[in-house]
Each structure stands twice: as C-alpha cells, then as structure tokens.
Amino acid sequence: MIDLSTKLNQDFILDNPLMTASGTCGYGDDLGEVVDIENYGGIVTKSLSLKPRKGNPPPRIVETPSGMINSIGLANIGVQSFLEEKKTGLKKYSGKLIVNIAGETQDEFLKIAEILENESWIDGYEINVSCPNVKKGGIAFGTDADVLYQLTAKIREQTDKYLIIKLSPNVTDIGSLALRAQQAGADAVSLVNTFYGAAIDIHTRKPKINSVIGGLSGPAIKPAAIAKVIQTAQKVDIPIIGIGGITDGADVIEFMLAGASAVELGTVHFMNPAAVVEIKKYLVEYCRQHEINSLQKIIGKAEI
C-alpha cells in the first residue's frame, strides 16, 4: 500500500498533501458540484475579514501567458456570514479545515480568530500577510519581520489551533521572515502568494485590470516559487506548504523534493476543477515507480 499522508505535526496529519489555495475555491463548498472535496487532504477557505468586503472594482482578473493576474481585493462575505452560511456544509468534510484570515489591523486579525476560536470543526488558521492587491493590511504585515513576529505571537497566545503564516514572494529574504514566524510560534508557513504583475492593452494603452498592478499566479511562477521553498527550507524547522503554479502531479513532487511537506492547488482549478483526482493518481504511480511506500520520504530529498 502507498501512504500519501503527510504529518505537519504530531497531531495534524493530512490524508494526502493536497490542499486548496485560498481564493481559488470559494469557501471549499464551490468545488462540490464538480469534484468530491474529500479528495483533498485539507481545505483552505477564501480569506475572511471581520466585515464583508466588496473587493476591488472590475476588471480585476486577466489571463496572461502561462498564468493570470488577479486583483480581487479580498472580496468576501465576512466572518459572521461565513459561520451562518457555510458551517453546516463544511462540518461534513472529514479532512483538515483551515480558515484563511485577512485583516487590515492587528486587532482585526485577532478579533476574527477570537470569533472562530470556539468552532471545533475548524482545525486551523492560515494568516494572510501577503495579499499584494489591497491598500490596507495584507502584505504590510508580511514585509516587516518585527511586525510579522508581533502579529504571529499575539495570535499564538489566543489559540491552540494549527497556525499557518502565508508569506509573500515580494520580499528580499523570505527565509528570514519565515524564521521570525517560527520563533513567534507558527506551526507552519505557506508560500508563495502571488508575485506582482501587470498587463497593458496595446490598442487602448490602458491597464487590463482596474488596479493596474495585481498578483500573478499560474505555471509562470512555479520556478520562482520552488526557489523560495528551497531558501525557506534552509532557514526553518517547521513544515512548509508550497504554493505556486502547480498543474500536475510532477509539480507536486518537485515542491516536496524542494522541502514542502504539503502543497496548495490554486490557479489550476480555473483550468481543471477536478485536477486533484488526476494528481492523486500520479502521486501513487510515482511512489510505485520509485519503490517508495510513503510519500513523506521524499520531503526535502532533492540533492541540493
């Protein structure tokens, strides 16, 4: 038998290393019409703010060569509506349920976590300190090591749930930021969020998205994301969740060899909403081909 499970700590084990990337599958329930969400080892919800957010005005998404640029601006229904509208459905999911939290201030991050804290069906939080297309909050918390440490430490003080800090690639030294998150009590880091990107219509001479600059995702960013995982793995001891341009099982293996214990699937859902099924089959076949009985054995095993 091939064991696809991955242990992110002694008590936090995923049935397989495949998770949804925040913002690409709604709150986890959006995928239910096209694929059984039980195929995922973990579901990461769309970012939640304290109050509902409309996000940025359109146009706010555009396709680019080997990727796409988005400037959604963390549009979401707010934490209270999330509990009222999504709780019943998500409680049925047997894997790990991670709520992505996005605040404009430290107090807002803490308040959202406080509201969610007594919900036993929520297994952990992914703290979004890396959104490149909001004017307040977002990436501001993920570019200053001291601010990141303070925020992480404050959230750690008020929760025993699994705590993931989602980092931005738009920094000079992502490994040092990850280390500060670890020192503040983070259980894991997820990386990377989108890279800064822009596109201009050559006929109208206008930007293709309203905010001009947004976040680039998709296959185009995978090599850069792999590099960030390698750099981070050299600095931290906590698990890394890899994100960026994954479209098939080979990409997952590459991230894990680089040092990721799990991955999040994002833009691929816009091309193939049921990609997780094909990727799981590939992981099993890869293990058989290489005579590996546990996928965990390849984590960080690239000969670097």
Residue range 141-159, pLDDT digits in tens: 778 899 999 999 999 999 9
The predicted structure's pLDDT at residue 162: 98
Residue 211 lies in a domain: no
State the total domains in the chain. 1
- Rounded Cα distance between 134 and 118, Å, is 29
Q: pLDDT tier at 32 (50, 70, 90 boundaries)?
A: confident
Which CATH number does the domain housing residue 223 bear? 3.20.20.70
The predicted structure's pLDDT at residue 133: 55
Q: pLDDT tier at 178 (50, 70, 90 boundaries)?
A: very high
The predicted structure's pLDDT at residue 291: 97
The predicted structure's pLDDT at residue 283: 98
Question: In which domain, by residue range, is 44 found?
Answer: 6-55+72-195+217-298
- Kindly tell me if the per-residue pLDDT of 140 is higher than 80: no
Residue 99 lies in a domain: yes
Q: Which residue has the tokens 């977002």?
A: 138
Residue 210 lies in a domain: no
Q: What is the pTM of this model?
A: 0.96
The predicted structure's pLDDT at residue 138: 58
The predicted structure's pLDDT at residue 141: 77
| Per-chain mean pLDDT for the chain | 95
Which residues are designated catalytic? 131
Contact of 242 with 229, CB cutoff 8 Å: yes
Question: pLDDT tens across 225-261, in order?
Answer: 999 999 999 999 999 999 999 999 999 999 999 999 9
- Kindly tell me if the per-residue pLDDT of 176 is higher than 60: yes
Residue 66 lies in a domain: no
Which are the contacts of 228, defined by CB distance < 8 A and separation ≥ 6? Answer: 169, 174, 191, 192, 244
Residue 64 lies in a domain: no
Residue 67 lies in a domain: no
Residue 273 lies in a domain: yes
Residue 204 lies in a domain: no
The predicted structure's pLDDT at residue 142: 79
